[in-house]
Amino acid sequence: MLSKQLQQVHPNVLAKVLKQKTIYQNKEIVVINKPYGLPVHGGPGIKNCISDVLPILAKMLENMKAEPLHLCHRLDKETTGVMVLARSKEVADSIRLLFKTRQVEKIYWAISLGDPDPAEGVVEIPIVEKEVQSHQSHYKMTLAPNYRLSPEDGKVVKIRKNRNAESAVTRYRLLASSSACSLLELQPITGVKHQIRVHLAYGLGCPILGDHKYSHWSKLAPQKLPEITLKRLKLEQSKARHLPLHLHAHRLSLPLGEQINLVCKPPLFFQKTLKKLELDITKD
């Protein structure tokens, strides 16, 4: 509902919402807690997006003569959490370079279906975009491993690299598990499109709660949830398609002269889900 409302409001109202969601600012950057369902960039059928209201937001934060703010990185439309905006093009360029050269530490939280085995580790499998042939053809990111099991003797053999695949590395750690779900802490070392979602769903077999795109490979269908999860969420399987994606950019460390640590609390729906599923986190 909220993301639908954000699509319908006047750009000034959207800028005001983002102003309220400002968690940190100094003379170089402004940091917001990105709301759910709000695209960063415009596109077909998108009326409101973050990049369009950056000039208005800058004026609201400083004064009428303020230069527009600049995007430094992107988050998926459904992802919430820490998002850095720069007050000048020079600062934006230097922050983009920090992201590109992997000097920014990013920590995400996700609620996933099932427990990863082992409970902590690194997924290092290249990712490639592929067309899925089904009754509705569509594109998805998927794994393009460099190894496979040989059908003859079950040994692991190296295979030829997919030319179009990008190398992708994600660290993960289990923080809590209950009700057939887990709360995971994730650190993407690389920044490939939908990387965390693909590594969790296809690499670990633990799709993110509410990730209807990556819960099945060959069809576009709502995620199928275990009985106990439905019961705790007080949800019918037929209504599962309304479940939002539970992926949140929780923390970001920026080496800008000094180390700036930025932390965002998960959105209310995420916190409520944690409670309902009894995923207790005692740490941070």
Strand-pair category, 127-132 with 29-34: unpaired
Using a 10 angstrom Cβ sphere, with 0-12 exposed, 13-18 middle and 19 or more buried, the burial of residue 69 is buried
Rounded to two decimals, the pTM is 0.93
pLDDT at position 284 is 45
Query: Residue 182 CB: number of other CB atoms within 10 A?
Result: 25
Number of C-beta neighbours around residue 129 at 10 A: 15
Q: Chunked in runs of 10, what are the mean pLDDT values of the chain (284 residues)?
A: 81 95 96 95 88 95 90 94 97 96 96 96 96 84 89 87 92 97 97 96 96 87 94 95 96 94 96 95 58
Residue 46 CB-half CA count within 13 A = 15
Angle at 225 between CA 223 and CA 228, to 5 degrees: 165
**The predicted structure's pLDDT at residue 27:** 93
76 is catalytic: yes
Query: What is the predicted pLDDT for the residue at 225?
Result: 96
Catalytic residue among 76, 115, 117, 211: 76
166 within 8 A of 126, measured Cβ to Cβ: yes
Q: What is the pLDDT of residue 204?
A: 96
Per-residue confidence (pLDDT) for residue 45, from 0 to 100: 82
Report the distance separating Cα 234 and Cα 37, nearest Å.
23
Q: Are 182 and 279 in contact (CB under 8 A)?
A: yes
pLDDT, position 282: 62
Cα angle, residue 130 at apex, residues 192 and 116 outer, rounded to 5°: 55
